[in-house]
Structure 1
């Protein structure tokens, strides 16, 4: 039966490096049916409808390599799978998740294609492909499609599932330094680095952030007492327990005053510049609803500032802005807020906006501010009357370069006194470019887990690299958070290779994690034999803070289903590249396609790393040209055709000569292992083939383990195979 439609046969999320890209991606298997006979240049009006809906497609270079390249392909004629790829990428870009990589490839089945797009979030990539299919079909059939609604839906998914902008800035900064990241929850808890070298962040808190310090920062009264004891200027204040006491203390301190909760953040429940009993008592109710205690303190005249301290230095600073409206004699306060404040493109409901939309009557602080001026949301201010709507909690202007060195030093001292490694220091000063004491300025709060968005996207001024500052705080200049990772793939002997290499590394004193088809091992003790997926097993190993090195087995199917569980590796082992078997559902049918799958392991070897390849398999040996690092060949023969050229290049070659494993380098032979040694002979007879032994020895040498230690590790490895 004829059908002109696009069927989605399968959607898969590739969570790590895969045969398409180093990054996570969505792969769709689609069937375009009779549309195989309908390239884009044969569909009347298709080009015009598609480009009218998505004018940004002009920026897609496609294979042409220049602006407008994809549109050229559209005019010349291309197929729906390729078009879906570009539409899905553009929809993600419009939603604020910038991506550029995509592929569309035909299979051996007529009309069936693989469409792949880079995505930073599974739910977003999946929906983008679904929307792309519907949009392309609407353009083909000349039916309506609501692009704006699709983009709103993707934005909602980003807001719900993706890392927040503060956390994302830190992860991106780590990525720039080649520091790997693992998201530990669906929220913002992220691991940077692997195994014992890892650090953890939770938005702007780190595993260096003291729980005691965080508790101190939540207690504003205790914080002030500690700061005052260390000579940090603070406003005079006192904890109160009732509206009447709040007014009494306000008079003792001297009006005007500030009323705020003792343990709230982000300006919630904070009322400033209060001079009347009614205002103080109303502010008490607002503060009491937010925190356990209420503080009344002296009002410091000046402007609000937020200084971000990371690792005992100020890395960014922002100044607050008051939000005001001007009456026209006709419009209500509510209407003026909508017209003069909420239309600001910097304001919005989502976290990505530096300023919040003001909603009445939900915003109790704004309602209190209006009541102090004798106004309600329905009042009509006179023409030219300026009405203060919001006086606190709106940090908009970057002023990092204006901060006086003494002010920066005082802010860093405040963070140290509380004990926070990352802190948001709130201070009030008339002029941030002058010392605080001379102008009567003061530090009013020290906050743990400070928001970073005001510094990443200031409404006015220059964005600051606060993510980079936090990464520098966590990792030294030469520290990339990596442990030695060995990845092993192929179809022959990969599990014995993993176990033997783990035994050798254990003998070398490394706390080694091994994830293979036989289970999960830590220090060669099996801790789980449930056989989770290769990806899950690898992730669990890399999340273990006890692990100093990792050996991870990856089957061809796991690479196709999930991708690799690590971004890069120190050593990549490929045991063979055979004809594929059992991979028909992925349309992997010949040896060239199998090579494309298994080359993934070689592609991720670090430039300072090494690939270990079976020279007895010509296709496997051919992967050497793809490696960014060094290459060690191994062969069961006593000589090999590739040996001379490989050794001429200063590289290593393992051969079996006169019952010895011999290392050739620079045409010099070094015997490594006697295969007639009883322990080695027993290992070969009962536990693993010779090719697996050679691969494990090659990987150990690639890790720069000394040959005597490698020999000792192999000769004592048999007990670790007892329950394998």
Structure 2
């Protein structure tokens, strides 16, 4: 047993691509103290205690590359920082926030490690790290640990802080398409794409969801009127204001009737199959209390409740509802029967990821009204084998998409178009969704904005539907990925001036450019802010701006180490040099090789369609070329530099200096030449800086002539222009 503790020296949330991985991670600097002399195989009982607490560790692959790999390392002997990494990953998994990535590496200080793990939400990740530390120390010291309480707390955090399952499903579908995303609030408002190519979603609403259409959908009487005028079958009915009027209208439209609030949703205040005056009056009072307007009395249409999801102009999914009943045993109350026969179904729950909700007769006025019609209350004890209807509507979670008749789908899609919603949930009552609409008494009873998606993502029965994929296809054409040209500049030599010059060249090409660099934050030819913009906040301001057609970012090694890159991928990555590791000693960067691993992050994120612009005179920068998934342009003062010469032989693009001209060459063929003596002295005396910017602009498709014109007009001393 040890008396030491594991100290967390520093915990940093790296929100973008970093030295560990492409995705957000929490990096912890961990001092394991005396445990440096006590690997896991020297601590009696640790293996058994840890695996008893966390049996899921069996699935962790670790360096072996197969399930059980981590446990093998634990048995053979590994160090506390590595164990902590796997414990925090497993705690996140148990809390419902899946994670699989983690690494731990020694620093140059004995006993101090850098450990990183993937997390989808910073606060949850930090809490899981603290809990993992406590759990591991309890296992090491053979002390009790309340795992259940920890998981409950973490799950509550996941439920309240993470994206909801429906939004997360859409975001995952965007990721599969290579579309970046930015969470704009602590809720479910998410930006898909960057700059002027972005779209926004709020779960099942998009930036093209009409506010007018939402207002129409919220007015049930107006919706019915519009649908009926356009040939969509709807139940006949009327809006009423008083209980006396309710009974009169009920008789006029024909008993039995359905009653609902004019502006209700989610089935609240809805009563069905009413044919007695006292039931109609009670249902009216219930509906009036659930809405802010009048009450709708309409024909009751017999059949099953269905929810059809329309995205764009197509029905993507259909689910059928079913009534919920219990059978008496002569001893239990209805409330007890509901809990034992219905709520015990593992598909039911209070969380958003449960396909069916819990049924609470003692809290639902709608259920209580139905029970009263049958002569019961929630406390009644039905006779043995007596069937009691608990819920007439709801429970819409049985997928029937594959058997849906085309005429039913066409009518639902028409209903959504009439209201004007791009994403809609159309509620229909149908006898059989597989039969033509003309052969049955079917009707559209509601059209809902912001429909629930979970019934289609996790149906209680049937196949899940790719709702996220359909929504992404609706938002983005097949050849679009929501990206704008993004240029990142990394290194220490003139990176600010290179970034500003690239931004200027893009600006004169006709693009509205956002620039974040040490000189500040720029939009177009205007300096918006003068403070240092080499940070996450400054960079993200460019990416979320809907008016920006291209973004240019100066990225320092310090930013990569402390925050990560603000973008997931870029079109062009410029690397000027690998130098000055001494200034990063606080990050345990104490060799040029360690700095190399930091700066290479800029090259790692270049798109397959993109280009790395690399300084041919720096050997470590040249070594980054094979890391690029796209093309490479080398630049340098001398065409005889090995990297440039070999690149030309291979037919690739290079930029070099020859007879006081900046030469752009594709293989051995000269594409363009820009004389240095036409440039302002402040640029002409730093040709490497200019060549880096020229190469970046060339990689983005600008012609040599336009680049030359841009160089002649660029003034890096001006704060009023890029």
| TM-score tier (shorter) | over 0.9
- Give the 3-state SS of the residue equivalent to 2:98 in structure 1: coil
Q: Tell me which of 700, 710, 714 is aligned to 1:713.
A: 710
Q: Is the 8 A contact 1:398 1:463 kept in 2?
A: yes
Confirm whether residue 703 of structure 1 aligns to residue 700 of structure 2.
yes
Q: Is the 8 A contact 1:327 1:385 kept in 2?
A: yes
- Counterpart CA distance in 2 for 1:334 and 1:311 is 42
CA drift at 1:206: 0.8
- Counterpart CA distance in 1 for 2:110 and 2:372 is 71
Pair 1:10–1:278, CA change in 2 (3 A)? farther
- Give the 3-state SS of the residue equivalent to 1:144 in structure 2: coil
**Residue in 1 that maps onto 2:23:** 23
**Residue in 2 that maps onto 1:261:** 261
**Alpha-carbon displacement from aligned partner over 1:426-450 (angstroms, at most 9, x marks no partner):** 0001101112232111000000111
- Give the 3-state SS of the residue equivalent to 2:27 in structure 1: strand
Q: Is the 8 A contact 2:427 2:446 kept in 1?
A: yes
- Counterpart CA distance in 1 for 2:639 and 2:569 is 33
- Counterpart CA distance in 1 for 2:535 and 2:319 is 46
**Residue in 2 that maps onto 1:609:** 610
- Counterpart CA distance in 2 for 1:683 and 1:595 is 28
Q: Which moved more, 1:312-321 or 1:367-376?
A: 367-376
Confirm whether residue 410 of structure 1 aligns to residue 411 of structure 2.
yes
- Counterpart CA distance in 2 for 1:355 and 1:104 is 41
- Counterpart CA distance in 2 for 1:671 and 1:239 is 75
- Counterpart CA distance in 1 for 2:518 and 2:3 is 44
- Counterpart CA distance in 2 for 1:129 and 1:554 is 28
**Residue in 2 that maps onto 1:621:** 622
Once the two structures are superposed, the pairs formed by residues 215-230 of structure 1 within 5 Å of their partners are: 215-230=215-230
Pair 1:533–1:343, CA change in 2 (3 A)? farther
**Residue in 1 that maps onto 2:687:** 690
Once the two structures are superposed, the pairs formed by residues 562-573 of structure 1 within 5 Å of their partners are: 562-573=563-574
* Aligned-pair Cα RMSD in Å: 1.4
- Give the 3-state SS of the residue equivalent to 1:515 in structure 2: strand
**Residue in 1 that maps onto 2:437:** 436
**Residue in 2 that maps onto 1:288:** 288
- Counterpart CA distance in 2 for 1:465 and 1:489 is 40
**Residue in 2 that maps onto 1:58:** 58
Q: Is the 8 A contact 1:507 1:713 kept in 2?
A: yes
TM-score (norm 1): 0.97
**Residue in 2 that maps onto 1:503:** 504
- Counterpart CA distance in 1 for 2:650 and 2:243 is 83
**Residue in 1 that maps onto 2:180:** 180
Q: Is the 8 A contact 1:11 1:27 kept in 2?
A: yes
- Counterpart CA distance in 2 for 1:232 and 1:313 is 16
- Give the 3-state SS of the residue equivalent to 1:331 in structure 2: coil
- Counterpart CA distance in 2 for 1:534 and 1:404 is 55
Once the two structures are superposed, the pairs formed by residues 301-700 of structure 1 within 5 Å of their partners are: 301-532=302-533, 534-677=535-678, 679-684=679-684, 689-700=686-697
CA drift at 1:720: 6.7
CA drift at 1:346: 0.7
Q: Which moved more, 1:83-92 or 1:448-457?
A: 83-92
- Counterpart CA distance in 1 for 2:454 and 2:714 is 53
**Alpha-carbon displacement from aligned partner over 1:541-589 (angstroms, at most 9, x marks no partner):** 0111111111011111111111111110000011111031332232111
- Give the 3-state SS of the residue equivalent to 1:642 in structure 2: helix
Q: Is the 8 A contact 2:534 2:554 kept in 1?
A: no
- Counterpart CA distance in 2 for 1:78 and 1:186 is 38
- Give the 3-state SS of the residue equivalent to 1:676 in structure 2: helix
Pair 1:530–1:272, CA change in 2 (3 A)? farther
CA drift at 1:719: 6.7
- Counterpart CA distance in 2 for 1:50 and 1:719 is 60
CA drift at 1:183: 0.9
CA drift at 1:682: 4.4
- Give the 3-state SS of the residue equivalent to 2:583 in structure 1: coil
**Residue in 2 that maps onto 1:169:** 169
Q: Which moved more, 1:442-451 or 1:237-246?
A: 237-246
Confirm whether residue 237 of structure 1 aligns to residue 237 of structure 2.
yes
Q: Which moved more, 1:496-505 or 1:434-443?
A: 434-443
**Residue in 2 that maps onto 1:251:** 251
CA drift at 1:36: 1.0
TM-score (norm 2): 0.97
Consecutive unaligned residues of structure 2, counting only runs of 5 or more, are none
- Counterpart CA distance in 2 for 1:581 and 1:293 is 73
CA drift at 1:388: 1.2
- Counterpart CA distance in 1 for 2:11 and 2:280 is 59
CA drift at 1:273: 1.3
Pair 1:698–1:3, CA change in 2 (3 A)? farther
- Counterpart CA distance in 2 for 1:266 and 1:722 is 55
- Give the 3-state SS of the residue equivalent to 2:319 in structure 1: strand
Q: Is the 8 A contact 1:513 1:524 kept in 2?
A: no
Q: Is the 8 A contact 1:579 1:590 kept in 2?
A: no
**Alpha-carbon displacement from aligned partner over 1:448-490 (angstroms, at most 9, x marks no partner):** 1111000000010100001100000011111111111001111
Q: Is the 8 A contact 2:683 2:690 kept in 1?
A: no
Structure 1 runs (4+) greater than 4 angstroms displaced: none
Pair 1:325–1:616, CA change in 2 (3 A)? same
Confirm whether residue 192 of structure 1 aligns to residue 198 of structure 2.
no
- Counterpart CA distance in 2 for 1:457 and 1:326 is 27
- Counterpart CA distance in 1 for 2:518 and 2:282 is 66
- Counterpart CA distance in 1 for 2:634 and 2:613 is 6
- Counterpart CA distance in 2 for 1:89 and 1:522 is 41
Aligned residues: 719
**Residue in 1 that maps onto 2:70:** 70
Q: Is the 8 A contact 1:554 1:564 kept in 2?
A: yes
Q: Is the 8 A contact 1:660 1:671 kept in 2?
A: no
Q: Which moved more, 1:619-628 or 1:404-413?
A: 619-628
Once the two structures are superposed, the pairs formed by residues 31-180 of structure 1 within 5 Å of their partners are: 31-180=31-180
- Give the 3-state SS of the residue equivalent to 1:424 in structure 2: strand
Pair 1:212–1:722, CA change in 2 (3 A)? closer
- Counterpart CA distance in 2 for 1:93 and 1:58 is 13
CA drift at 1:243: 1.9
Q: Is the 8 A contact 2:457 2:465 kept in 1?
A: yes
CA drift at 1:323: 1.5
- Give the 3-state SS of the residue equivalent to 2:369 in structure 1: helix
